[in-house]
Structure 1
Amino acid sequence: MSVTLTRAGPAEILRAAQKDDFFCRKLRELLTEILLQVGGTRVLIKYRELLNATGNLMYFGATTLSGLQTLGEEYTGILQFDVLQSDIPQLRKRLLMILLSEFGQKLTSLLILKFEHHNLLRNEKSKIRPEARRDLLKFISYMKMIVPFLERLHRAVFYWTGYYCHISKHLTGIQYVLVRYWLKNRQSLYGFKLLSVVTTLQTLLVIITKSINFFNYNDQSLQAPTDNINKSVLSNKKCPLCLDERKNVSVTPCGHLFCWYCILEWVQNEQKCPICRETVLPSRVVPLQHYS
């Protein structure tokens, strides 16, 4: 006998995600207290990011990776489903989904940064023509600015279609079905479509505005620096994030200086100062005019 499965909607999936975020946060707080008692404040600051990732991996390792529903999924009555094989996702897919969800964006940013500082682009003696090297660096810098907005656009598509709430689930082909199909929330579908339109327009407007500002930016700041220039840059004039001379110097409320694009990219992913871990909102980053 064939069974028709009812696909979960955005309302059920988002409620489950909110519940899971709540339990993950509680677990991270517990781990933070333990590390603070054992190692003190200095150790806590050093391993804060690793601690956050550990808490999330512990939660989803004990639930999703073990083939169980998360507490949020159980709360809303949804179940992960592999649409490619019409079955429960295989272990390797569940593992890949968890790793991509936790480290995918960070790995992408790291790869872009690694490519940006490759010797082929930074070495004046490389075989790449200076004009091509400059254009590549400009393109990479532009991609660094755009990447954080791809998740927003993907979320807007999810609001409209109800498919794949996260890029990691899209890449692994994992969706959600309703266990209690008679509880499907159909009244909110039009509201989510409206939210999709608003989110898309707002994200595209931000991308267009940032793109205009980016391409109007002084091309001289995007030229590949030579080894001699890099050696001559004093350490107190380097950006702590890109390790190059600061461009469009900007300051956080806690008083630390960064490149404008570097710190904006950072706070889009994590709203904390990368040096002292104080809370930093994107709106609180201030560009400094005529700073040398």
Structure 2
Amino acid sequence: MIPRYSFPATQQAQIIRATQRDAFHLFTLKDQTESVLRSWLGTRRLTRWEKEIDLIVKLAYYGLTTGLAAQTLGEEYTDIWQSTSSGVGVSQSRRLALILLPVLPVYVAARLNIWYPPGDSTLGKVRQSLPATLEIAGEVNLALFYLRGVYYDLVKRVLGIQYHSSVAENPDSRPPSYSLLGILLATRLAYRLISWLRSRRVAADPSKDPSVEESQTTAGLNASSETFLDDRPVSSILNIRDPESRPPIPAEEDEGTILDVGAIPEEIRDSRKCTLCLEERTHGCATDCGHMFCWDCIVGWAREKSECPLCRQSISLPQLIPIHNL
């Protein structure tokens, strides 16, 4: 009869270090992929496909490790193995679910919200609240992990996938406890629940909110201080949906400048290129830090990342400065 061997229990620290290591390798892989694609496509086009790049990188990383029944780099670093709660190996169907479930629903929901705005229907409200719901569920699972130390990832909890370690326990040392983090997370979740219940009560009866009058006064002041650009409210320009999808126009046809672009020497025109689209600037504008881009390029960028693509200084859409003579 073949003897049965039991593996030591996996410590919380091992699971946390493995997850952090995987996150580091994913970040490095995505950064290198973006560097290569940026040299081919330019920063503007790369920004439009950022979600797809993130999806492909994660599918490739976990597909070549978990999908092939091998350890990820983080799991190999801490010497832990995936298994079911009963101690047997993970089936191929569970491995496939483990690869797809963490990334695919979030990606589909994000793209649907961009392509098809949720609206006021019940399905639209569900779609709109899905990211926040998944975030809260993840925090609840993380609080349980810090208190119990079994499932760090929500998908692994749903699929019943645990870890086993091949490292023998040291009887002379006590593993670190993360219970305090679990208590802090639970406190934060309780505060969010109380805030949500309070907002629901105010939504049902706005008269119970003492800040209603103040917010109405502030809204009136904001409306009276609306900024205009050539008789156009700046808010109407910023509210253009997906400006990057509009086809680029030649610099000679740019109506947003007073310059005679065709009369500018070629060597000077070369210095007017936008670093996001790698084309000559049209409807040029400047950020607070002084860098210049096409209007559509920087607006599309700032909606994804509120920082200058060159110096990483924080930028705000209402503070972009249109430039007509550069």
TM bucket normalised to smaller: 0.5 to 0.7
Conservation of the 8 A alpha-carbon contact between 1:142 and 1:214 = no
Pair 1:159–1:26, CA change in 2 (3 A)? same
SS at match of 2:71: coil
Number of residue pairs the alignment of both structures matches: 226
The 1-side partners of 2:171 and 2:38 are apart by 44
Which position in structure 1 is the counterpart of 2:59?
57
Conservation of the 8 A alpha-carbon contact between 2:109 and 2:127 = no
Residues 216-261 of structure 1: CA deviation (Å, up to 9, x unaligned): 13679xxxxxxxxxxxxx98797969xxxxxxxxxxxx99xxxxxx
Which position in structure 1 is the counterpart of 2:306?
278
Which position in structure 1 is the counterpart of 2:97?
96
The 1-side partners of 2:117 and 2:307 are apart by 28
Conservation of the 8 A alpha-carbon contact between 1:80 and 1:174 = yes
> Deviation at 1:49?
1.1
Pair 1:76–1:214, CA change in 2 (3 A)? same
Percentage of identical aligned residues: 23
Pair 1:160–1:186, CA change in 2 (3 A)? farther
Pair 1:40–1:113, CA change in 2 (3 A)? closer
Which position in structure 2 is the counterpart of 1:207?
193
> Which segments of 5 or more consecutive residues in structure 2 lack a partner in the other structure?
207-234, 243-286, 289-299, 309-313, 317-326
Which position in structure 2 is the counterpart of 1:225?
none
Residues 31-71 of structure 1: CA deviation (Å, up to 9, x unaligned): 00111011111221111111112112211112111111111
Which position in structure 2 is the counterpart of 1:217?
203
Conservation of the 8 A alpha-carbon contact between 1:154 and 1:167 = yes
The 1-side partners of 2:43 and 2:62 are apart by 27
Which position in structure 1 is the counterpart of 2:38?
36
The 1-side partners of 2:205 and 2:115 are apart by 21
SS at match of 1:12: helix
Which position in structure 2 is the counterpart of 1:159?
146
> Deviation at 1:275?
2.7
Conservation of the 8 A alpha-carbon contact between 2:80 and 2:163 = yes
Pair 1:45–1:205, CA change in 2 (3 A)? same
Which position in structure 1 is the counterpart of 2:231?
none
Calculate the TM-score normalised by the size of structure 1: 0.63
> Deviation at 1:279?
5.3
> Which segments of 5 or more consecutive residues in structure 1 lack a partner in the other structure?
123-132, 221-233, 242-253, 256-271, 287-292
* Alignment RMSD: 4.0
SS at match of 2:67: coil
Higher RCO (C-alpha under 8 Å, 6+ residues apart): 1
Conservation of the 8 A alpha-carbon contact between 1:81 and 1:177 = yes
Pair 1:28–1:9, CA change in 2 (3 A)? same
SS at match of 1:180: coil
Which position in structure 1 is the counterpart of 2:158?
171
